[in-house]
Structure 1
């Protein structure tokens, strides 16, 4: 029965799986208080993230089909026909829970590890195109004239930048964990390498 439904669901699932990699970006970025729209992510990185999600979906689905075939072949599960809907419901819920855990937990864990690294003055790995880069933020005009959303800007210490996008830049403060938003017209961004980021006063003039 399950195998007979596969040709029906494939045309529906493939377009969704093609863009499902955005879930990885969404849950990773959410840990920093931003959205994937606030970050420039290359099409290659998006495609690779979708491939990972597709691989997880395929592996879990194949394991489920193999398990069902084994149980059915050896008649290991005999249930009353009135309990069949409950059995299917529990099976679908379990399948969905496994998928959610395997797909959504890793980006959240990766973001938390990135936060810990940044707070320890280390530069984390790029996560499917999202680069959390320690950056000095230099105002191009009087700081009192710069509108800042989410907190206050202190140019003397580094922030974490995810790159400019759509005329603005989102910054994460490793010290306060605030998320700031500024216009790219008001500041210049100077990335720090690993050695410079470890130094105290790296952004002081």
Structure 2
């Protein structure tokens, strides 16, 4: 896979390609991590790579539900049990978070593919504290742009966390995760355990 989004011919392809690329980048930050490392909050915040992936899956599901107009109350709740959406719980694994994220992405892609007009109205969840009171609807286009923005923001968080955990950076991680043929960067490799 290329390091950058390939050329695009139209708006729909551009939006979906950039969303897919940001998803790849976020997933790459988890490459080679143990569950314990994926739970690591390596900065002053409580954010962890596993938690960011878990949040991205839930966020994408929330917005896709809005596009298809499924109702889940008036506000986005991180976790119905009151847990922390930005952290993996002890009983959760990185593999489960990645699988949930892949499923959410697949569902979003299928929903978007079935919508002929990106200008289609998407109802705003009234009463949500993060929605301006005067806004009554968004468009599918707006939702896609928001998902790109949200995924990129959290991908940046995950980049910093990953580099803090073991020094790994984006290009070597992506080269290793995707087994790039003839990579132009040295693919990431797990550090060998120290002997003695």
TM-score of the two chains, using structure 2 as the length reference: 0.30
The structure with the largest alpha-carbon Rg is 1
TM-score of the two chains, using structure 1 as the length reference: 0.29
